[in-house]
Amino acid sequence: MRTRVSSLTSLFALLIGMLMVLTATAPGAAAAPRAAPRAVDCSRVKCIALTYDDGPASSSTARLLDTLKANGVKATFFMVGSQVARNPKTARRVAAEGHEIGNHTYSHKDLRRLTASKIRSEVARGATAIRNATGVEPTLVRPPYGSFNATVRANVNAPMILWSVDTRDWADRNASVVASRVIARARPGAIVLMHDIHPTTAAAAPRIIAALARQGYVFVTVSELLAGRALANGKAYSQR
Ligand SMILES: [Zn+2]
């Protein structure tokens, strides 16, 4: 009898032990990764991140979104908070269609010229505008003009995303010129800088997407592009 009780006890102990192991290794028990919503491994696949700054603007952003949707392409929009406040419906559409939203500050000032507290407030107000309009909490910051110094680095409180391909689409308002620049300078792991406030940039998207898709590129968001890298607040990243 005594042996039987003790073997039953051991059996229970064993079952409880197995249950604990199963619970500990269950998916969801581990810390969630920063962002990897799709199964794209950019260490193996030819990835590229198209990024669009300074919007949302109602008509050119909508036209661009139509093109991205028709081609199943995901991009990243670094939104300016004051623009989000002006065009909340377009901002919501960007989020609803699965694109990433990054914070491009509230009023697009050169952060190097601001005090630490003004830098923090520009970033925080940008994030608040995005959160209020879309429900999305942006995790990445793109400093306006790509401009930063030690004070900026210490106060943005997020990884800073720059770019490796500068299209200068704001200077050359010509869809063909913009598309040719992107196609000529595309590299695996690149981050391409464009601005969705320009109709010519929206008009360049179909040619960019067709040409790069033909070369085997997969279009990913910045978080997907940088997945697997440990991103640090105040550090700048310009490609994979
Ligand atoms: Zn900008």
Bridge partner residues of 239 (DSSP): 190
Predicted local confidence at residue 27, as pLDDT: 39
**For residue 6, is pLDDT > 90?**
no
Same domain, 98 and 3: no
| Structural domain includes residue 42 | no
Same domain, 119 and 167: yes
The model's pTM is 0.84
Q: Tell me how far apart the alpha carbons of residues 189 and 124 are, in angstroms, rounded to a whole number.
A: 29
How many angstroms does the Cα of residue 103 sit away from the middle of ligand 1?
10
Same domain, 116 and 68: yes
Confirm whether 195 is a catalytic residue: yes
Same domain, 210 and 127: yes
How many angstroms does the Cα of residue 96 sit away from the middle of ligand 1?
23
From the candidates 53, 54, 169, 196, which is the catalytic residue? 53
Same domain, 56 and 152: yes
| Structural domain includes residue 90 | yes
Helix, strand or coil for residue 47?
strand
Instruction: Give the pLDDT band of residue 13 (cuts 50, 70, 90).
Output: very low
Report the CATH number that the domain containing residue 154 is assigned in CATH. Answer: 3.20.20.370
Q: Which domain holds residue 69?
A: 47-237
How many angstroms does the Cα of residue 89 sit away from the middle of ligand 1?
20
Give me the number of domains the chain comprises: 2
Same domain, 220 and 112: yes
Same domain, 107 and 199: yes
| Structural domain includes residue 39 | no
From the candidates 104, 108, 195, 198, which is the catalytic residue? 195
Instruction: Give the pLDDT band of residue 125 (cuts 50, 70, 90).
Output: very high
Same domain, 56 and 14: no
**For residue 118, is pLDDT > 60?**
yes
Same domain, 14 and 127: no
